Structures are given as structure tokens and as C-alpha cells.
Structure 1
Amino acid sequence: MKNSNEWMKNGVIQALLALNGLVMLYPLFVMVVSAFKTNAEIFSSPFALPHSFALTNLQKVWEQTNFIRYMLNSFGVTAASIVLILVFGTMAAYAIARYEFKLGGAVLMFFISGMTVPLKLAIIPLFIQLDALHLIDTYAGLILVYVAMGLPSAVFILTGFLRTLPRELEESARIDGASELLIMLRIMLPLARPAMVIVAIQNAVPIWNDFFFPLILITSDDLKTLPQGLTVFIGEFTTDWGVMFTGLTLAALPITLLYIILSKQFIAGITQGAVK
């Protein structure tokens, strides 16, 4: 009886997971399929397969937009933002987690408070400040905004993970004559790799997909990121939805592959830490 109940419980869980997977993946399937359709096909049979898998929409994306430039801009902004978030977030989290000082708790709460208020609510004073610094319509201004958005959660995640690491590792390294910088770079940070991968994934996806801040802060066509650049197909009276879905599919592909790669590294990092 117990085995039967356990089997039913596992079956219900598997069914719910399969249903959740279907709900999550079906819109992506519709997006990819619609990339091969014309506007007439999309409106007449939105959920059916296309009559032919022609690359006409892909040709329009390539010829009518500066697609490669937009994608390179997104790559550059996302990569620079993630690197800065990891560097500054790791340094702050390491100081809070591994050293004891009076204001350690207050500093941590300062970073955590940044998670409570969306930065979009402060877009007007933020725009005024960036304009005063001559950072409007620049990569630097956009990257600084993303770093400010990502640091609070990065410090929160990394601090919690670094606090779980045994202090005996540091003490033995100090006895061997290792400097504080060497201890952090060679001993502690390799063990914190799973948390760093989580931070990278958590921030890379929204930064890559963000449309709001590039729309406000970027005006030059050569500096536009991919989500902003694809709006060229949205007209005042008509929208070429087939071409739009093609651009969205191409835009989703790199970040999806990156997510899969980092997920594998995350699992490998956990396994490596468990073995050690």
C-alpha cells in the first residue's frame, strides 16, 4: 500500500512537471513556428504549422535592420555588466561574510534595501543624474544602471554562500603564509563558483531582454541593443509579425544557449564541491 501511494505521488508530481513544461515551452514553440509564417498565416492559423519553412523573414531581418550591430551591442553591454556585477559583488560579499566589523550588518542591509525598490521608479532623477554626467546615449551609462540593479541581489546571494564555507580553509592558508588576496582568489572564490554562476544567470537574462532602459537612455541607432532595435518592425498602422517573431527567435537563441551552458557548470560546481 505504501509503495502504491508513493507511486501515485510520484506520478502526480511528474504529471504536474510535464504540464508546467508544456505551458512554458508552448509559447516558445509558437514563436519559432510563427517566424516562418506571413502575416496572413499568423492571423488565419496562429497555432498551425507554416505552409513552408521559407527563410523570407530571416532575409528581411538581415536586410532591413542593423541586426548584427544590435546583437553585438547586446553582447557587449550584457558581458560588461555581468563582469562588473561579479567583481564588485564578490568583493563586497567577501568583506561582509569573512571579516567581522561593526557596520557589517548595516552594510549588508544597505545592499539588501536595494532589492526592495525597483530602479525604474527612479528613472527621472536617474536620467537627470546621467545627463549631468554626460552618460546619456552611451554604453557606460547603460552598464552603470545594470550594475546598480544587479549588485544588491549579487551581494545577498554571495554573502550567504561565502558564510557557509569553513574558516579552517583560511586559517590553514594563513599559516602557510598566503596573503589575504591570494586566499580570496585561489581558495574561497573557486569554492563560491556555483553562487557566482547563479548570480550570472540571474542577471544576464533580464539584462539581455531589457527594453525599458535602452529605450530611455539610448537614442543613436548604432548604440541600440537587440530588443530596442527590433522595434523597427512595429509600425504605426501595420506590424510585420512574421519578421518580428524571427527577430525574437534569433534574440532568444544566444541567451538560451548561455543559460544551458551555465546550468551545466552550476551542476558540475555543486558536484565538485560535494566531492571536496
Structure 2
Amino acid sequence: MENLKDFLQVSNIQNAQKQPEFIDHLFSKIDYHISKDGRVLILTLTKRSAEEITNFFVSKGYKTYYLHSEIDTIDRWDIIKKLKTGQIDILIGINLLREGIDLPEVSFIGILDADKEGFLRSTTSLIQIIGRAARNPNSEVCLYAEQFTASITKSLYETYRRRQIQQEYNLKHGITPQKAISNIKDLNVVKSDDELQNIPIGAKSKMKKLKRMTKKEKDIILKDLKSQLDQAIANRDFESAAIIRDQIKEIEGD
């Protein structure tokens, strides 16, 4: 990137979603990165839109899936594993940062409705989303919006500032950026709910799976389960809360 204007991709952001070129541009980016064996993240704002966009992409022949809070923890890990291994090319979600997993396979991130100011499109959130692409030197991030907002301007400026510092450091020390290596093997211990549905939580086979997990994987799952527990209690769904509580105890006691 030679200058800030190139980074901002002004022609691709201004009024993008009001023009037919928006869809053409998005699909051209997706096709290019998939052809280079890259993976794609598309960020939207609601669960419904994530599902509808996924259906649209699937109808166009893309290997796509959505990811949001209503999908069980184990299923989410299974979906992420499929993205990393190429069984899925495109993952569509709302706040994919919550998974806490590095995705160096992702080389394109499309942020839809980037100008809808709020928690999911704040300066901090946009910087974090853009940072998802930092582990792949061939990555691109496109913000699709009708107008520039303060959050967009600040996040792009800060990202460019950090990138410039990194580039100067790499040049000074003769470093050529390489794609980070993802440890896919560790994710193989996480199976889908279909594979686990007939196995009791305390069964020996499941205990073996828990013992093979890394501490980081267990911490991520525990954090998510505790969030689900809080939500179940808030909804007065005490039956689900009891099941989730037992799952938490099982993992913590391993």
C-alpha cells in the first residue's frame, strides 16, 4: 500500500451499498480469494441477515455457513474447523471475534453496513475486525457503507498507522511477512453435536476428548458455556441452565 488513499479504497466505500456495483465488487473479491485458496469472513449486523445472506450465497454455489450465538458451542467449533480445512469457504456472522481463534486462512473480510454506528461498528470493533486479517500477508478488508463515519475514519487511520510501523520494522530487519500456521490438529478433538448426541456428558469417550483438549480450547469453551448459562437463567430456562451447568462442571473438573 503506497498511501492512505489506497488503503481507504474510497471508490469502494462511498455509496457502495446504493449501487449495483456493490454486489459485483463483493463477489469479485470473494471469487479472487477463494481461487487463491483463501477463506472469507462476511460480517453483518443481525442473525436473520446472516442466515439470509448465507442462503443467497449457497444458492449461488458457494460453500457457505453462518455462525451466531444460537448455534451450540460444539457446533461452532465444528464449523470453524471446516472453514480452516476448506470444507467451507465463506463464514458469515455478526461478531466472529467472540470465538477467540486465530484464522490465518482468512484472506478476505467484508464488513457490511460499516457505517451503522453502534457497538458492532464502533472504532474499537472495526479495528479488531480488521485485525482478523493481520495474520495473512495477502489479506484484504473491505468496508461497505453509504458514507464515512467517525468510526470508519478513525479505525482506518489507526490500522494504516500500525501497518506503516510494521512495514518499517520489517524493512529494517529484513523480515518478509508469512502466513501464520494454524494448528488444525487440535480442533479435531471437537466434534459436532450429531456425533455427541447419544453420549452422556460423563461418558468415558467424551472424557478422553476433554483430556485431549488444550487449556486454551477449554478456556474458550468454558467462557462461551458460562455466557450461555447466564442467558438461560435470564430467560428462566432452568432446564437448559442445569444441563449447561453440568457441562461446565465436567470441563472444570477434568
Q: Same fold (TM over 0.5)?
A: no
**Higher normalized contact order (CA 8 Å, seq sep 6+, divided by chain length):** 1
The structure that is strand-richer by fraction is 2
Q: TM-score range by the shorter chain?
A: under 0.3
More helix as a share of residues: 1
Larger-gyration structure (1/2): 1
* TM-score between the two structures when normalised by the length of structure 2: 0.21
